[in-house]
Structure 1
Amino acid sequence: MINQLVQQLVHQALAAGLIEREDEIYARNQLLSLLHLADFNEMEMSEKIDIPDLLEQMVEYACSQGIIENLFDEKEVFSSKLINCFIARPSTVNQLFFEKYQQDPQAATNYFYQLSKNSNYIQMKQIKKNIEYKAETEYGAIDITINLSKPEKDPVSIARERAAEKTNYPKCLLCIENEGYAGRIGHPARSNHRMIRLNLLEEKWYLQFSPYVYYNEHCIVLSERHTDMKISPVTFARLLTFVEQFPHYFLGSNADIPIVGGSILSHEHYQGGNYEFAMAKANSDWEFAMGGFPNIECSIVKWPMSVIRLRSERKDSLVEAGAHILAKWKNYSDEAVGVLAWTKGTPHNTITPIARKKGDYFELDLVLRNNRTSEEHPLGIFHPHADVHHIKKENIGLIEVMGLAVLPARLKEELEEVGNFILGKTTEVADYHVSWAEELKTRYHAVASESNIEGLVREEVGKKFLRVLEDAGVFKRDRAGAAGFRRFIESL
């Protein structure tokens, strides 16, 4: 059986273009070595099995033979080593990428995206487990994802991770040293990981894809240096330079301070991809002109968060205008709407920027952020408030800002329970859902049925996520907020 699996994997790697016919025997021998096999007999192949399933079966074989322990991290490391037998070295991957780039930037990213999927670096089998749908709002259709793609670790693996000796290599999950790193207890397997070398403003940056993509071609662009996230005029210049090189992609940055920033603030990086979010499609609420920048179209985006959109054919003008807005915002306070720039020397204001190219025009969206807390809102005044924590409590980073909710796995079963509660099939729901479930039952008990309950609950989750975005907006979409936003624009 193991011979058949080896043969199948070699065959599938050939079919996927991971190797050429001349590489077949070499790759097979690499597999045999990892599997502690000294002999091999060619077998007739049975039905076609996909690469992720073949890897799973071979990992189970390795466990049964005592080659590895039956632990989550060890299995991930071994699976990554198996598929790495078929992947070219970084220099070859980069050479092929830039040969294709000379013809068409999209052809280059298509090649690299397909390689990352075929090599199981992008975990497509796991990603397909995610629950994804769109929810209609007054701002357009926002994306909802219940994240089921990350497999849960077993208790033994968790205990091993806690007891493992700490090491600073690689320093974090985004460092270049992850390329080809086997992995260890507590650090993911990266034998099958490749990065594309980029030049942004004469600096070394790297392009990779997220292993658990949340949207089409979800990529990460990271600095060669392990330095803290920082939003500055140089950030705007890098983002615009990238979208000039890859005009079919957008690129944005998480904010650079806690609460409103992303999950990794210790390594400067951006996220992008070939996807148009609801925010990118949103129309303008109103336009304005900014003194000193006559060749820039300025508008406020019709969006629950506070977004300034700048458009121009010239990158340098956008960078200068963005720098002007950033400098003003960092020191801007308006107590009437709860915006304070500083508390005892601690800064609160920053920006989440997103760049894209539309035809001859560059666009730079600047989302105003503030991370101040209060007794009423200890997790953040401009952060999801307590009444939506049962759906979303985590930071609102770049992806959420643009209109994609990444929601916790627990909601899969919990939302089914809420649906059954509305239908009167159960009286039990999680404590934190009780008041919401009762409200929905009162509203929908006359129209809810087995056939429509899932859609009704999903629609209500969309409304909750819209509330999350409204909570995160610094200038609310009411009379006071609109007046506050205009005061800031006038200050520019």
Structure 2
Amino acid sequence: MNVYGSINELVLKAIELHMIQQEDEIYARNQIMAFLGLTDFSQKNNHVERRNLDVPELLDELMLFAVQAGIIEDLFDEREMLSSQIMNVFLKLPSEINKIFYQKWTNSPEKATAYFYELSQNSNYIQMKRIAENINYKAVTEYGELDITINLSKPEKDPKEIAREKERRTTSHYPTCLLCIENEGFSGRIGHPARSNHRMIRLELNKEQWLLQYSPYVYYNEHCIVLSHEHRNMVINRETFQRLLEFVEKFPHYFIGSNADLPIVGGSILTHDHYQGGNYEFAMVKAKDEIVFALDAFPMIHFSTIKWPMSVIRLRGSDMKQMVAACNYIFEKWKEYSDPVSNIYAYTGGTRHNTITPIARMRNGRFEMDLVLRNNRTNEEHPLGIFHPHADVHHIKKENIGLIEVMGLAVLPSRLKEELSEVENYLLDRTNHIKPCHLPWSDEMKNRYQDEITPATVKKIIQKEVGYKFLKVLEDASVFKRKEGQEAFRTFIFSL
């Protein structure tokens, strides 16, 4: 490998992507050489033939050189840290990026976010090469096309690498968590991701400082995270609705929503107040109205339930103040609501169980807010949660159902890539190593599709059935069931 050629190609690639100017070429090259312990550069390397490699491929070459030269250990985190530091050479300071963003936003919010999204990809902060490894497809159901993703974008470490990293790991509480603003430009360490090439856009929401960034492992188009400047616990309250609506008013081409603020029904990070959004239309957005109703206290707001496997109340209106008040009214009522027949209890002693997952968007020039009713109770039959994926779907999805899943996108564990391949072999009566947890499901498929299973059809059959399992996951998470719970849902609505 010609390391100088790789450096030169990376610098030229950054110029082509408009990350730096032609005048910055020598400066950028010298910075990268310093990271790699190089002190000499021959002019003949300026004429190395271009190979049309992308940024991740060029970084892989530089990381291979760094490992072979003993600059870094062959550890995932060390490679990530050096890659991030090298890409930071091509990035402007946060203040400059914010200035460009808001210059564009004044004329077009879409152009502002497109600029920042493209920058986040070009800088390799968003790991597009790894994201491309994910398995994605649509599953047709009576509720529309659900999105199915088997998440393969985060590389799995081998046991030896994990052991070596454990030896190198240091105790530090900076940054406080993975979402804190202190991650911007942070070089990383063993056990904490590299963020030298990370940038955030400053926002004001409800007279507070908030920040906009993109997810490093996007699950859908322009998958963004909006986070509080202050490290504080997730909470749903009146201010939440105000912030969500203010955000979509500023960025009407985006949706934004919050994970619920209680364990089991909440997301993976409950210790830092944050939301997720993006430029994507999920199946839930297209769901039709079912029960349409009015509340006298909010005459300007249109209320309905929607045809969706989970229990959702949709609000539409043009007046932000009344929308916020109506959302908060329903939320406060739901927090105190119990329905023993439906297994819904608001409290166990002083422990609250009811909360919501709110999702905001602009549609046809009006605000639209979906309030998904959630409850995190457990019992002996369902120790992981009564309104959580039940045991019969744990072989496919056992994790919490957060905001993204609620809207109809299944984020399934990477283990399924190999496990479903063995299910294929089992269905085709080939030698297999199928896991026992998949056997009842696989035998059911064998019986149902006995005349249809062939090498050409087996993958599509499994994908369809995984889609049905995810639909069952959503039905399990519903507090008012689609078949037997609609009258109970009406009773709650009447209580409003």
Q: How does the TM-score come out when normalised to structure 1?
A: 0.99
Pairing 1:153–2:154 present = no
- Residue aligned with 1:387, SS: helix
Pairing 1:24–2:50 present = no
Counterpart amino acid of residue 238 in structure 1 = R
Q: Please, which of 72, 89, 109 is the counterpart of residue 76 of structure 2?
A: 72
- Residue aligned with 2:369, SS: strand
- Residue aligned with 1:231, SS: coil
Pairing 1:420–2:425 present = yes
Counterpart amino acid of residue 65 in structure 1 = A
Pairing 1:413-452 to 2, within 5 Å after superposition:
413-426=418-431, 428-452=433-457
- Residue aligned with 1:255, SS: coil
Q: Name the CA shift for 1:126/1:254 in 2 (closer, same or farther; >3 Å).
A: same
Could you give the per-residue CA deviations for residues 21-59 of structure 1, whole angstroms, max 9, x where no partner exists?
Answer: 121111111001001110112322231110010001101
Q: For 1:124 and 1:459, how far apart are their aligned partners in 2? A: 27
Gaps of 5+ in 1: none
Cα deviation for residue 162 of structure 1 reads 3.8
Aligned to 2:10: 9
Q: For 2:283 and 2:441, how far apart are their aligned partners in 1? A: 26
Cα deviation for residue 427 of structure 1 reads 5.0
Cα deviation for residue 17 of structure 1 reads 1.0
Q: How does the TM-score come out when normalised to structure 2?
A: 0.98
Pairing 1:333-482 to 2, within 5 Å after superposition:
333-426=338-431, 428-479=433-484, 481-482=485-486
Pairing 1:219–2:224 present = yes
Q: For 2:40 and 2:23, how far apart are their aligned partners in 1? A: 20
Pairing 1:298-317 to 2, within 5 Å after superposition:
298-317=303-322
Q: Please, which of 52, 58, 61 is the counterpart of residue 56 of structure 2?
A: 52
1:421–1:441 CA contact under 8 A, matched in 2: no
1:383–1:468 CA contact under 8 A, matched in 2: yes
Could you give the per-residue CA deviations for residues 303-359 of structure 1, whole angstroms, max 9, x where no partner exists?
Answer: 000000000011111100001001100010000111000001110000100000012
Q: For 2:165 and 2:491, how far apart are their aligned partners in 1? A: 51
User: 4+ runs of 1 displaced by more than 3 Å?
Assistant: 160-163
Mean Cα deviation higher: 40-49 or 171-180: 40-49
- Residue aligned with 2:50, SS: coil
Number of matched pairs: 491
- Residue aligned with 1:145, SS: strand
Aligned to 2:298: 293
Q: For 2:90 and 2:471, how far apart are their aligned partners in 1? A: 44
Q: Please, which of 220, 234, 238 is the counterpart of residue 239 of structure 2?
A: 234
Q: For 1:474 and 1:161, how far apart are their aligned partners in 2? A: 43
Counterpart amino acid of residue 138 in structure 1 = E
Counterpart amino acid of residue 25 in structure 1 = I
Pairing 1:256–2:257 present = no
1:73–1:157 CA contact under 8 A, matched in 2: no
Q: For 2:272 and 2:164, how far apart are their aligned partners in 1? A: 26
Q: Please, which of 62, 70, 91 is the counterpart of residue 87 of structure 1?
A: 91
- Residue aligned with 1:272, SS: strand
Pairing 1:326–2:331 present = yes
Cα deviation for residue 483 of structure 1 reads 1.0
1:422–1:445 CA contact under 8 A, matched in 2: no
Cα deviation for residue 157 of structure 1 reads 3.7
| Identical-residue share of aligned pairs (%) | 60
Could you give the per-residue CA deviations for residues 157-208 of structure 1, whole angstroms, max 9, x where no partner exists?
Answer: 4234444232110000000000000000000000000000001111100000
Cα deviation for residue 280 of structure 1 reads 0.6
- Residue aligned with 1:332, SS: coil
Mean Cα deviation higher: 425-434 or 26-35: 425-434
Root-mean-square deviation (CA, aligned residues, Å) is 0.9
Aligned to 2:201: 196
2:75–2:165 CA contact under 8 A, matched in 1: no
Pairing 1:137–2:138 present = no
Q: Name the CA shift for 1:160/1:225 in 2 (closer, same or farther; >3 Å).
A: farther
- Residue aligned with 2:290, SS: strand
Could you give the per-residue CA deviations for residues 274-302 of structure 1, whole angstroms, max 9, x where no partner exists?
Answer: 00000011111120111211111100011
Could you give the per-residue CA deviations for residues 95-116 of structure 1, whole angstroms, max 9, x where no partner exists?
Answer: 1111111110000000000000
Q: For 1:416 and 1:153, how far apart are their aligned partners in 2? A: 21
